[in-house]
Amino acid sequence: RSNREITTATGRYRGMRLSCRSTGMGTDNVEIVLAEVMEITDAATFVRIGSSGALQPEIALGDLIVSTGAVRLENTTDFYVHPGFPAVAHRDVVSALERACRDLGFTYHVGLTATASGFYAPQGRAMRTLPVRYPELADELRRQRVANLEMESSALFVLAHLAGLRSGTICAAYAQRTDGTFLDGAAKEAAEARCIDAGLAGIHLLWQVDTDGGDTIAARGNLVGRQAGWSQGTSGDDAGH
């Protein structure tokens, strides 16, 4: 079903009931979609599968990035929480997406994402006709070890957290902001396919864990970790995989 730029498809994936929905670009659209979905569902898990611009030079075009949280460079969420409120992905979702990337053999990175309120000036992109207030934004975020830049995740994380729901994001690097290069053609389509495959595999893992009867966040997180071959106390490397 479609209404304006929002299209929804519901079906089954490997036995799991699943809905896929486009939101359009930006946190304002994400807010509309999440608010409406939350009104008609119970205990939903939300995973954004999308595109982004890489900010760290070690992230190659086409690599995948799993977000641990988001820098809130937008103001949609200010209407829900204090400006200093963190936007954090749910740890179960992060773990499941990481495991999916490993199982599928995809190159991926784990780190912070920055969510901008627009595509051009809000991301520090130079333009011929319009002034940009923060032209060094991408460089500043890179120095702060932010992995990638996009336009949706902070709203997803904040609103899901407020509703007591799980959420996460996995994005493909369509652009490398450090050198101005972009993916196109078959390489872009292949990166998109990898991102979708990893996202679906991560969601399915969460569904399997939930179906096994995990009652607490800790139990689900430990089960994901054991299935991924982790030992208690082992820490991950946020610099990349």
Would you place residue 7 in the very low, low, confident or very high pLDDT band (cuts 50, 70, 90)?
A: confident
Would you place residue 2 in the very low, low, confident or very high pLDDT band (cuts 50, 70, 90)?
A: confident
Residue range 208-214: mean pLDDT, rounded: 82
Integer CA distances (angstroms), 212 to 208, 209, 220, 223, 224, in order? 6, 5, 9, 10, 11
Strand 64-73 with 87-88, pairing: antiparallel
- Mean model confidence pLDDT for the chain: 89
Would you place residue 225 in the very low, low, confident or very high pLDDT band (cuts 50, 70, 90)?
A: low
Residue 35 has pLDDT above 80, yes or no: yes
Please give the pLDDT value at position 240: 41
Q: Which of 49, 50, 62, 26 is nearest to 176 (CA)?
A: 62
pTM tops 0.85, yes or no:
yes
Q: How many CA atoms lie within 13 A of 113 on its CB side?
A: 36
